[in-house]
Amino acid sequence: MSALRAKVQGGRLVLDEPTSFAEGTLIDLVVADDDLEDAERARLDEALERSLASAREGTIDAGDLLAEIARLEPACG
C-alpha cells in the first residue's frame, strides 16, 4: 500500500486522489515530518518500492536493502 497524500482545506483533510476504501473505513494518519521536496519524496518512494519488490523476490538481502535506504536519506544536521 502506498502512502496517501492529503491537504488541509477549511480545517478538513482532503485527499488528492480517490481511494478504494469502503465507506466508514477508519484511517490512521501520520504527519510527514521531513524537509523533502516533492521530487525528492517521489524518488525516495520509488526506490523504496523497488527495494521492497526485490526483497519479496529474494533478489536483495536485508543489509543491502537498509544500505540502499540509508543512501537515499537526506543528510541530518
d(CA 37, CA 4): 16
pTM for this prediction: 0.39
51: left (phi over 0), alpha (psi -120 to 50) or beta: alpha
d(CA 57, CA 40): 26
30-62: per-residue pLDDT in tens? 777 777 888 888 888 888 888 788 778 877 777
In which band, very low, low, confident or very high, does the pLDDT at 17 lie, cut at 50, 70 and 90?
confident
CA atoms within 13 A on the CB side of 23: 0
